[in-house]
Amino acid sequence: MQKFFKQLRRKLFGLDEQEAAMLRAIADTNDLIAGLQKSFDHLHLDYSRALVEIVAQSQPQTTLSCEINGVPLRVPVGILRAYAHCLETSQEFSFTYCIESHCVHWLGQHLRPEDVFFDVGAATG
């Protein structure tokens, strides 16, 4: 029976035993990579939640060093609490915020030189 499957595999796929073993090894490696990616995703989520919790538990008068839209700043935690959904992880800064990046992207596509844009600050009231 095993001989039959080897012959069938050769006819259908043109693979010898060594090539089939190599494909199995590649499939196993892909499974390993997928497992590692899933573990990394869980670790990243836990890290993000921990950072949000640090901001939430900080005293109101506390200021934290962070990066907002690529600019290093020292900001009161009250502002950072309003943007918890914008927190991203970064190797350079523990607290990296990309605030309204979809708006910045849209503005970059639609505004032209000499256009005027007013930001009324509605996100924070």
Q: What is the pLDDT of residues 44-89, one digit of tens each?
A: 888 888 888 988 999 989 999 988 888 899 989 988 888 888 888 7
Global pTM? Answer: 0.54
Q: What average pLDDT does the segment 10-20 reach?
A: 73
Do 44 and 64 sit in the same domain of this protein? Answer: no
Do 20 and 48 sit in the same domain of this protein? Answer: yes
Average pLDDT, rounded, for the chain: 83
Domain residues for the domain of 85 are 60-114
- Domain assignment present for residue 75? The answer is yes
- Domain-ending residue, one of 24, 42, 57: 57
- Domain assignment present for residue 120? The answer is no
Distance of CA 39 to the CA centre of its chain: 13
- Domain assignment present for residue 74? The answer is yes
Strands 87-88 and 96-97: antiparallel
Q: What are phi and psi of 9, to 5 degrees?
A: -60, -45
SS3 88: strand
Residue 123 has pLDDT above 70, yes or no: no
Instruction: Determine what percent of the chain falls in helix, strand and coil, rounding each to the nearest 5.
Output: 60, 15, 25
Residue written as tokens 């918890």?
Answer: 84
- Domain count for the chain, please give it: 2
